[in-house]
Amino acid sequence: MSDSLPPCPECSSAFTYEMDALLVCPECGHEWSATAADDDATVVRDSVGNVLQDGDTVTVIKDLKVKGSSSVVKVGTKVRGIRLVDGDHDIDCKVPGVGQMGLKSQFVKKVTE
């Protein structure tokens, strides 16, 4: 580990110490793993394993029916400027010809330009 330990994520106390594989805060009693801090950021990947980020351009890899409508998002539809969100649908975007909607990352592929 480094010379200085990170502050407590619960109360921001600087008086943390190591106990076996955990970090402990003596002020609030919170215990956490030092490696858990690295895993906090969720990584969203497309259908082939590429890491997605806000603003990326993706293409749809299969026909997707739009709930509550008779329209379909066709294979190969290019969606620009995606936004990653938490929830069952990972991506908020504006699909050309359909409008604003949420997509699951397993049905898109990142476009490398």
Q: For the chain, list residues with pLDDT below 70.
A: 1-3, 36-41, 113
In Å, what is the CA distance from 66 to each residue of 10, 60, 80, 99? 42, 13, 18, 11
Q: What is the pLDDT of residues 58-67, one digit of tens each?
A: 999 999 999 8
Residues 21-37 have pLDDT tens digits of: 888 999 988 888 877 55
Round to whole Å and give the CA distance between 59 and 50: 13
Predicted pLDDT of residue 36: 55
pTM, entire model: 0.63
